[in-house]
Structure 1
Amino acid sequence: MPLSRHLELLESLEFPEVKPRLRPLLHVVCLIWATCESYRSPGRLTILLQEICNLLIQQASNYLCPEGLLRSEVEESQRKLHVAVDTLSFFKQGFQDRREHLCAYFKENQEVRQWDFQSSLVFERLDGFLGRLLMVQDLLKTALDFHQLGKLEFSGIRGNALSQQVQQMYDGFQEMYGVFSESSYDCLDPQSMEFENDVCEFNRRVEDLDRRLGAIFSQAFDDAPDLEHAFKLLDIAGKLLERPLVAQDASEKYLLLIQMFIKDLDTVRAIYSQRVQEEAELGFSSVHKNMPTVAGGLRWAQELRQRIQGPFANFKRITHPCMDSAEGKRMTQKYEDTLSLLEKYETRLYEDWCQTVSEKSQYNLSRPLLKRDSETKQIAVNFNPQLLSVLKEMSYLEPRQMQRIPETAAAMFSSREFYRQLVAKLELMANGYNKVVKTLAEVEFPLVEEELRDIDLRLRAAEGTLNWKTEGIWDYVIQITNSIHGLEQRIQKAKDNVEEIQNIMKTWVSPIFKRKDGKKECLLSMDDQHDRMEKYYHLIRESGLKIHALVQENLGLFAADPTSNIWKTYVNYIDEMLLDGFFLAIECSLKYLLENTECKAGLTPIFEAQLSLAIPELVFSPPLEYGVKGGFYDAVEGLVTSIFGISSLVPRLSPQNGSPHYQVDVEGMAPLASMRSTLLDRVQSMMALCCGYRSAFSQYSYLYVEDRREILSQFLFLKRRLTPTKGSMKKCVGWSPSRCSTAG
């Protein structure tokens, strides 16, 4: 039978799939009523519909699983309840719809019999089940609302205390709701009064929580410093504020929000009035950093608009009746008036700018590309700041405003990339030219004078006839920029070479001869004297080759004639530099020797001479007598000669000076000659002092000059030692101990 097939299909489906099958099922029931006389009886049809309701109740109960409904996730349980309530309500609605259109199932000549029985006879059990579902649904909705308490945190002075109170409420609610999850009864059984009693007790305690929650939200509203924090509080509270008791306590706070916004609107109008007054008195007003005047003013107005649009958008989301109150309407009117003021300000500011931008653009674009300072001869890009201002203003303007820009300014803005690149190229050219003019040395200028004169001649067009609207100026700028850049690069390379020469000479400024291991308590290292000198000489020779190569490179960079006077002058300039370098190098070594030969306390000697007995004389090693070959004086003089000798290792850059190297000029320098003389005088003085010290030992010369055996024999014979005079007398008369002994 058709009905049995529908019922069997209904039993086999999952409950969420049942809803689409209910209308066909009711359609078959209506057909049975219209065509089957045996079933065209209210009693039988009522029983049939009751059985269908029982089937739906059973399927819904199985789908919801009563024992786990209150233990599962609240959102999942709510979703299932919504499906069940929607399906059962749809069945009731479908029944009512078929009941109203029952005549469509009877033939034209057939008597129409309506369903004249009461609906309550059919849906008594279904309505009870639906009521229980709605009760559970309300319970879950409350649970879902209060689960937000676990995430609530308040700011402000009392924020911590309020957050703790909310946490305590949340813990209490969890305990209250735990009664249902721990119970063993069937919460979907309409006959279970135990569940209803628990729900009544639960709702009573929830009402108390709602009142406490309303008080907490009221305190949090009072602590909110501004509208932004107040609306954040509304967002945080969410659906909790929709609970009747909470909404009742929070209702008056909405009026406070309106008053706060009205106060903000008054503040915005005061800011607007102050700015308008500043512009009237001073002719300008402050704008954002790095923003042009007009765009900055428009941005200022836009930010003021955003300041009030954001809160007003939040008000529009509020469904509270306060928006329809007199205060709410006053707020809306004041908001619209403030917006109108800002829009008028923007329009006036923009239109005033449009009236002047065309004239400024035309005038400044007709100016020459470059301008020159008559005193310094330096050049600068003549792109007027007003043009930069126009381009900057237009780059900040919104697309809707760009449609009303004058044609001249619009054309300039469309070519902004060209002007940007052109200005950048001209800036590069001007910087390169000015660098050449400022840094060119006096001896370098004659070497590039002709090239500079040619560049100046080509620049005259950019300083006079060429302007920003001239056709083909890009190629002109590229050509002259390349010329200036090439010259600047060559001059810079030549200067770098000169700087490298100076750096090379700085490596010379180090004492050739030092104390051993560089320690202050050690003597001058004489053992490796030859090796140190050769190493230093090698450094000077290599440096000389490098310096000559750099000078030759500069000759090519300046494209100079090596026989010309201007090049010879430049070479003399480098030559003097080398002479100074040798002076500093030699001075460093001489200073080291002078500083370590000063007579001052605590200074360890740098040289050593040993006094030893070489019978019958006391001798120094090395010899300290002046004029003795290989003596100490010769050794020190040899050191000084080696120091001065470094200036002979580099061939002279300037051959016209008449010397193949620099030693003659260096030796003629008075400061170095004075240092050399001072050092050698100290050596002679110390040599004389040491020789005097040796003479002090002459009174003891008999100890190492006379024969010890002869003196002993005299002592044994005469029982006393002869004085030097008596001893001499004995010698004169030919006395000897042996002879005396024989006579005796």
Structure 2
Amino acid sequence: MEEEVPFDDVFLTQSADLQTLEQLLSQIFMPMVTNGAGGEASNAGALLHSMASSSTQSSYRELLSNMQKFHSQVKQALQQLTGDVTLHMPDIPLDDIDRAASDDDIVNALESAMADWSHALATVMQRESQKQPNGKGPLAEIEFWRERCAVLSSLYEQLNMPQIKTMITILEKGSDDRNLMVGFKSQVAELTKLAAESRDNVKFLTTLERHFKNISSGPLAGILDTLPPMISALRMVWIISRHYSDDQRMGNLFQRIAREIGDRVEAAVDLRQMFRMSPEEAVELVKSCKAVLEHWYTTYMQVREKIEMSGRDARWEFPKQLLFARTNFMAEICTDLIEMIEIVDDFFKFLGPELKAVTGDTVGIDRVVHRVVAMYEPIESISFSVFDPENAQDWATAKATFFADNEDIKNATRDLIDSSFRKLRSAEAACELLQSFKSIKSRGAIQKQVMNKFNDILEQFAREIDQLNEIFETHKDNPPVTKSQPVIAGSIKWARSLLARAKQTMLKLMLTEERIIRETELGQMVDLRFRNFGKSIMTTEKKLFSTWAESANATAMQHLKQNILSRNAQTGEISVNFHPDLITLIRETKYLDRMGFSIPEIALNVALQEEKFLSWLEGLRSMLSLYFETVNQLAPVEKELLAKKLQELEGSLQQGFVTLNWNSLGISEFVQACNKAINTFQQVIKQVQKNSSIIEQVVYSIAGSKLVTEPPFDAEVLDLHEYYESLERRRMDYTEKLVKKYRTIGPLLGKIEEVVAGTNTGKSPQLSGYYRFWERAIFNALNSMVLNAMKELQRQVNVRVRRGGGA
């Protein structure tokens, strides 16, 4: 039999689980996803960051929206389960309704319970009628109806439980207190009506919740996208809902939306940081705020106009003063702030390092900059809310002071203009200065004064053209060329750089005031000087190029026909025969081609093959390096021994001296063949040197042999005959060992003969000098051995003679 679980236990278990789930959502998961989506950024920097949408932030926002919806449903279910009113049900057997209705004790108990229920219903409905939304925004309205729905639905569901319905039926049959029953039924009807109203309002307002959340915590750019669908959704609620179709309730909701939008903008715009931010970021932020405020008004009016034009739905006659007075005023404040930020930015851009570099008046410019800072500091330190319409007069006073200071700074700027143009250092910089002056907003006084300075700039430019022309005429025959450039291209580049300096200034002057240059006498004079200077540059440039072009093809053909290898007549040294003029030709061609010149065909083809030539040069140089390294490691006797091999090796290079030139196609194969011949020769050297080192060890062992040694220290004294026999035995032993070693030299020389001459006779004419070398070495080793033995014998005799004399 299944165990019955009391209703209160089920209720408590479900509410505890839901409460744990709600805490996890609100305290852990919601903050994590909110941070990923950009958060509720209320400061300017975070707002600007959140405005830069990306696919990742979009995904986070979608997840946040779904999680918020789920969180709201969990909260609603929790509120319904944990309603603060629980109807008491007496513990009475209700199996038989007729018997219970006839039982006075049961009826009295049920009447007492109904009286308690009636009192609880009256208390709840009175309390709910006195409640107000806890907050100023639209989300507070949704939460208000959601809480009311939870409380009333909890009571409504309790009253519709089978047990309570059975109790009511018993009282209807058995109770004599009709007033109690009528009052209770009236309260139930009122509760049913209020519960239905709250459920209906929650249902419709829930469709608006995500829009309200975007307004409350989303980025400003998201609010712009949210307003049109939100107003359209409000229109649908206005049309369909039974309770939000009256002016008062819908009007209050619109006022809450307007208040929320205004609060978001007010929180975003921090006057203490506005002038400290990047001007671009500050202007973008305030423009976004202004766009939100204006879009709120225009979107509302567009939907209102559609309602009026349709003629089917009730018109929106909400008080505009309550909806838009504050937001429209805030939009005007945003316009003032944008103008102020741009004015300050224009001054700072003009009074910057460029102006100091041109004028040199650092002190005067810093003085004006301090005045600009003093102009906006009162705006930063405003203590009242500039977005509150009640402070409109205070804001007007602060704004008037700002613009008055702006006019004073303009006057100081005009004085700075006069002093700046009196100390002109360069026409180009002065022209940029002129444009900087023109960019400052004013009523025309600064622009007019600046234009009067244009003639001074033209005179300065005329002097600069004369200076450039003097530099050109002085150095055109031997111009300064950068280290990395060839002579012709470097000379043309230098000449063009002079022209570019003048041309850059001329273009800026033309862009600034072309009319003055074309129509005034001074302007025409400057234009003529510039053109004459340009013609001189172009004439020299053409002369340099034509002279080079005439000889380029001949130079290329002459040096490409030369053999790839050459031998120095005096030293006999072999080298790669790639003429330096070809390298210069390639470099000149590359630079001149980049400059736009029409390069002669042969020179261009040579330049296009640069990588191939470089590859050949690298291969040839590596091959010769290996050749010299191999040959130079040979001793004179080895060179004599390998003379024929050396001739064969040098013969493999012969093509490079006779046949191959830089137009040949077989250079790579030639390099490979030479490297192969060198490697073969190296193998011969290794074999010769290996055998010769063994022979050398034998020679060293002969030279170092000791035929005569000192007798042991503790040995008996020998007479002359015994001493002679001891020396003879040692000499014969050593001689026998040395003879064995000596006899190994013949086979080693035979191996060398096989490698060098290809024979193994032991008397090859090709190795005659090599034989002499080792014969002399062995003879010298024998002499050294005998001489050392005689010296040792003499030493021992002398020692004993001295000992005998001493005795």
TM-score by length of 2: 0.47
- Normalized per residue, which structure has more helix? 2
TM-score w.r.t. the length of structure 1 is 0.50
**Which protein is bigger by CA-based radius of gyration?**
1
